[in-house]
């Protein structure tokens, strides 16, 4: 046995002769053949600092940071937790304080308590590295493997939530419902690679394998494994307070033993290969790497992603070389039917996203066909089908909003493994040109031409591309190009009118608004008659979207406040009813919202997606300010509210408008109309 051990150590020693053989070193670590005495050398090689010079050689060792005592206290606490020997504990604490102090001075940054720097440097000192080597390893570790922005709301936590949503949407939804933010438990784990949560022997084993794998994203998958393995326990604790649930989840890594590490890593790698490669590759630079003190951090906001974005190249490669690619994507093309027929990727499944607004029943039927088609592709092992669902939109923001609605709908049904192609069809078309990928259809280039930047603002007319004279309309009004209506742009039932027709419609709208105005107090006798008929307050109008640019939004971002939806619905004595809906903004964006009706006001409560059960007060409108409520003839659930005031001369001034998609809108508007009548009668009294 001793001869076998000696042979293993000898075979490991020859890895240091000349240029290190990284592949052999990693294989030796995975096999557990690295003697503890050689761990420092192995880590330095894996981090690429084995031949780095002593960066501390010119430093005088002065410990004089502004919050030096705070740093010293943290060093003592970290070493006390992970080091058992008292003499060794003092050395680790002292050296850690020196190295973090020098790190702050060298990079001209301030020490921040809880940054993870102390915890990150401690293992290097615990394995017996010199200060110089430990500092070089700390610098490399922070640059390569520790995600930056490990703060509340930081991108690493948005990334992890996307991964959790991809693999277990029901668990993600449950945690959102509990208002349990990802950073509440993940922060401690990833800012120090589990040093804050595990005993030293487990830390060393995890770091051996982590560095051998050389994958910075692995920390997210280790955390994912930790959460998924505890899924049943977490979801059973429906009545447990959020604070206790956070404490329970945070303690999961402390239950690991060194014998569990191999399985822990293996499970993480299992999820790595079952997740988009391009996602990990494309966004690595946005998550990892040290920020230069002299330049601002340039990053992106991942909170806007509804699901994992993948590259066109990954989608195509998964079809060309399915054996080499572990993911098989079932492509769902969500563009309007005319665009799909013009050009699409072969064997893609078409779900026209506009059907959600125009024909909900047809949309539901199409979704049922989608599930059957996906099931069939799995059973036949089709190259163009699999359990990973990938959505393709046009690549134009206004139309992408509807695709997002389809994704949201399926997320609510807990469909797993959903992603979306970055850049949409426009990106697919350009990739096909450069890489000889065949697209099928009547004219694959047609939509791509319309998607070019030069034409994006040139016209929003019909497929002939004709421009209307409205593009040169008075600049005193909101620019239609910059604030297109989502429904106006997409609904095939709503056609653009000529300039002459638009002028007539505008004239009709103004006259109608004056005729249906709220009357003054001197006209009490006519107030009730104005609102008792359904027609004046709720009318059908095909062309309601035509002159949206002339109206102003009632949103006031600066005065928004967050409220708990349940509290408002159940505890406010004046609440009449609430209606779930989606608000369509002037810019064409769609936001899950609620209309909350009281005896005097109508509140627009916009859901906070990152805080389940909470919402912003997006707008509050007096019921007596509602001048008109209209419904689109082709899409009766699309409701527009117009607000205004009445001048002393009896003329109506329109002050704003809001548009919503309200399920069972006729019932909702009837209730709102009755509340308006009651509010008017109250004013009369």
Encode pLDDT of 241-271 as tens digits.
888 888 888 888 998 998 899 889 999 999 9
Q: Are 662 and 629 in contact (CB under 8 A)?
A: no
Fold of 504-684: PH-domain like (2.30.29)
Q: Are 75 and 93 in contact (CB under 8 A)?
A: yes
Residue with tokens 């009445």: 646
Residue of higher predicted confidence among 624 and 296 = 624
pTM passes above 0.85: no
Element containing residue 562 per DSSP (H, E): strand 562-564
Q: Are 502 and 546 in contact (CB under 8 A)?
A: yes
Mean pLDDT for the chain? 77
Rg over CA atoms, the chain: 31
- β-sheet bridge partners, residue 638: 661
Tokens of 79: 């070493």
3-state SS, residue 257: coil
CB atoms within 10 A of CB 174: 17
Is the predicted pLDDT of residue 403 greater than 60, yes or no? yes
pLDDT per residue as tens digits for the range 124-142: 999 999 999 999 999 999 9
pLDDT band at 324 (very low <50, low <70, confident <90, very high): low
Please state, in angstroms and rounded to a whole number, the distance separating the CA atoms of residues 342 and 441: 5
Q: Are 118 and 101 in contact (CB under 8 A)?
A: no
pLDDT per residue as tens digits for the range 104-120: 999 999 998 888 999 99
Residue 290: per-residue pLDDT: 75
Please state, in angstroms and rounded to a whole number, the distance separating the CA atoms of residues 157 and 155: 5
Residue of higher predicted confidence among 568 and 153 = 568
b/e per residue 594-603 (b: at least 16 CB within 10 A): bbbbbeebbb
pLDDT per residue as tens digits for the range 166-218: 999 999 988 888 888 888 889 889 988 999 889 999 999 999 999 999 999 99
What proportion of the chain, given as a percentage, has pLDDT over 70?
75
Residue of higher predicted confidence among 357 and 337 = 337
Q: Are 363 and 337 in contact (CB under 8 A)?
A: no
Is the predicted pLDDT of residue 221 greater than 90, yes or no? yes
Contacts 24+ apart (CB under 8 A), 15-23: 16/41, 16/45, 20/45, 20/50, 22/46
Q: Decide yes or no: CATH 2.30.42.10 for domain 308-453.
A: no
Is the predicted pLDDT of residue 589 greater than 80, yes or no? no
Paired sense of beta strands 652-661 and 575-584, if any: antiparallel
Paired sense of beta strands 614-622 and 562-564, if any: antiparallel
Backbone φ, ψ for residue 644 (5° rounding) = -170, 180
Biggest CA pair distance of the chain:
108
Provide the angle, in degrees to the nearest 10, between the axes of the packed helices 68-82 and 86-107: 140
Highest mean pLDDT among 449-453, 498-502, 509-513, 586-590: 586-590
The per-residue DSSP string of 259-319 comes to GGHHHHHHHHHHHHHTS-HHHHHHTHHHHSSPPPTTS------GGG-SSEEE-HHHHHHHH
- β-sheet bridge partners, residue 645: 653
Section 665-683 average pLDDT: 84
pLDDT band at 588 (very low <50, low <70, confident <90, very high): low
Residue 326: per-residue pLDDT: 73
pLDDT per residue as tens digits for the range 502-515: 343 333 333 333 33
pLDDT band at 449 (very low <50, low <70, confident <90, very high): low
Candidates 535, 604, 511, 527; CA nearest to 565 is: 604
Paired sense of beta strands 614-622 and 601-607, if any: antiparallel
Residue of higher predicted confidence among 446 and 368 = 368
Backbone φ, ψ for residue 65 (5° rounding) = -65, 160
Alpha helices in 396-551 (DSSP H): 397-412, 424-435, 446-451, 453-456, 486-490, 499-515, 524-532, 534-537
Section 2-26 average pLDDT: 63
Is the predicted pLDDT of residue 3 greater than 70, yes or no? no
Q: Are 586 and 553 in contact (CB under 8 A)?
A: yes
Please state, in angstroms and rounded to a whole number, the distance separating the CA atoms of residues 231 and 50: 41
Is the predicted pLDDT of residue 30 greater than 60, yes or no? yes
Which of 407-411, 546-550, 593-597 shows the lowest per-residue confidence on average (mean pLDDT)?
A: 546-550
Section 652-675 average pLDDT: 86
Provide the angle, in degrees to the nearest 10, between the axes of the packed helices 242-250 and 183-190: 20
Backbone φ, ψ for residue 590 (5° rounding) = -120, 130
Residue 344: per-residue pLDDT: 92
Please state, in angstroms and rounded to a whole number, the distance separating the CA atoms of residues 496 and 546: 8
**Which region holds residue 199: left if phi is over 0, alpha if psi is between -120 and 50, else beta?**
beta
Please state, in angstroms and rounded to a whole number, the distance separating the CA atoms of residues 631 and 638: 6
Element containing residue 159 per DSSP (H, E): helix 155-167
Residue 323: per-residue pLDDT: 59
Which of 74-88, 284-298, 363-377, 493-507 shows the lowest per-residue confidence on average (mean pLDDT)?
A: 493-507
Residue of higher predicted confidence among 286 and 131 = 131
pLDDT per residue as tens digits for the range 69-106: 999 999 999 999 999 999 999 999 999 999 999 999 99
Please state, in angstroms and rounded to a whole number, the distance separating the CA atoms of residues 245 and 181: 11
Q: Are 657 and 509 in contact (CB under 8 A)?
A: no
Q: Are 169 and 415 in contact (CB under 8 A)?
A: yes
């Amino acid at each position: 046995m001793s001869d076998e051990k000696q042979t293993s150590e000898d075979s490991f020693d020859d890895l240091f002769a000349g240029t290190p053989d990284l592949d052999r070193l990693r294989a030796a670590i995975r096999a557990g053949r690295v003697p503890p005495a050689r761990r420092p050398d192995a880590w330095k090689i894996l981090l690429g600092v084995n031949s780095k010079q002593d960066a501390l050689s010119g430093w005088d060792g002065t410990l004089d940071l502004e919050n030096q005592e705070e740093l010293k206290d943290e060093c003592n606490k970290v070493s006390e937790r992970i080091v058992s020997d008292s003499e060794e504990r003092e050395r680790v604490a002292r050296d850690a304080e020196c190295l973090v102090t020098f790190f702050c001075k060298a990079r001209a940054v301030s020490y921040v308590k809880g940054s993870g720097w102390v915890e990150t440097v401690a293992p290097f000192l615990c394995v017996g590295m010199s200060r110089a080597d430990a500092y070089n390893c700390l610098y490399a570790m922070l640059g390569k493997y520790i995600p930056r922005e490990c703060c509340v709301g930081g991108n690493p936590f948005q990334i992890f939530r996307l991964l959790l949503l991809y693999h277990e949407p029901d668990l993600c939804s449950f945690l959102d419902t509990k208002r349990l933010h990802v950073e509440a438990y993940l922060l401690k784990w990833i800012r120090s690679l589990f040093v804050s949560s595990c005993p030293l022997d487990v830390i060393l084993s995890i770091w051996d394998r982590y560095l051998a794998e050389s994958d910075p994203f692995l920390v997210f998958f280790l955390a994912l494994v930790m959460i998924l393995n505890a899924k049943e326990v977490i979801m059973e604790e429906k009545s447990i307070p959020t604070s206790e649930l956070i404490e329970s989840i945070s303690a999961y890594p402390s239950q690991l033993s060194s014998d569990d590490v191999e399985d822990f890593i293996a499970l993480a790698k299992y999820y790595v290969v079952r997740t988009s490669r391009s996602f990990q590759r494309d966004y690595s630079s946005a998550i990892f790497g040290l920020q230069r003190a002299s330049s601002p951090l340039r990053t992106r906001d991942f909170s806007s992603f509804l699901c994992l974005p993948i590259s066109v190249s990954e989608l195509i490669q998964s079809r060309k070389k399915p054996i080499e690619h572990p993911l098989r994507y079932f492509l769902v093309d969500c563009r309007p039917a005319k665009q799909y027929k013009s050009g699409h990727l072969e064997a893609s499944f078409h779900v026209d996203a506009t059907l959600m607004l125009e024909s909900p029943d047809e949309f539901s039927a199409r979704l049922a066909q989608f599930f059957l088609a996906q099931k069939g592709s799995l059973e036949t092992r089709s190259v163009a089908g699999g359990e990973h669902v990938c959505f393709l939109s046009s690549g134009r923001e206004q139309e992408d909003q509807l695709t997002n609605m389809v994704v949201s709908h399926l997320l609510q049904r807990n469909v797993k493994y959903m992603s979306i192609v970055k850049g949409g069809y426009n990106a697919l078309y350009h990739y096909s040109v450069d890489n000889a990928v065949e697209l099928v259809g009547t004219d694959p280039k047609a939509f791509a031409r319309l998607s070019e930047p030069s034409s994006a603002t040139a016209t929003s007319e019909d497929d002939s591309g004709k421009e209307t004279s409205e593009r040169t309309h008075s600049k005193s009004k909101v620019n239609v190009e910059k604030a297109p209506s989502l429904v106006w742009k997409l609904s095939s039932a709503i056609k653009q009118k000529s300039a002459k027709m638009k002028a007539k419609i505008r004239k009709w709208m103004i006259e109608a608004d004056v005729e249906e105005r709220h009357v003054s107090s001197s006209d009490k006798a006519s107030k009730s008659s104005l609102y008792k008929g359904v027609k004046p307050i709720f009318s059908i109008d095909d062309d309601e979207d035509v002159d949206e640019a002339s109206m102003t939004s009632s949103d006031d971002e600066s005065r928004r406040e967050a409220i708990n939806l349940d509290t408002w619905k159940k505890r406010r004595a004046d609440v009449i009813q609430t209606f779930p809906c989606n608000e369509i903004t002037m810019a064409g964006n769609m936001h899950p919202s609620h209309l909350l009706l009281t005896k005097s006001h109508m509140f627009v409560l916009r859901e906070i997606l990152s805080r389940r059960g909470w919402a912003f007060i997006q707008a509050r409108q007096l019921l007596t300010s509602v001048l008109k409520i209209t419904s689109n003839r082709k899409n009766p659930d699309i409701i527009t509210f117009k607000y205004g005031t009445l001048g002393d001369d009896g003329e109506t001034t329109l002050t704003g408008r809001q548009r919503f998609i309200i399920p069972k809108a006729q019932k909702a508007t009837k209730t709102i109309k009755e509340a308006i009548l009651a509010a008017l009668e109250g004013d009369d009294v």
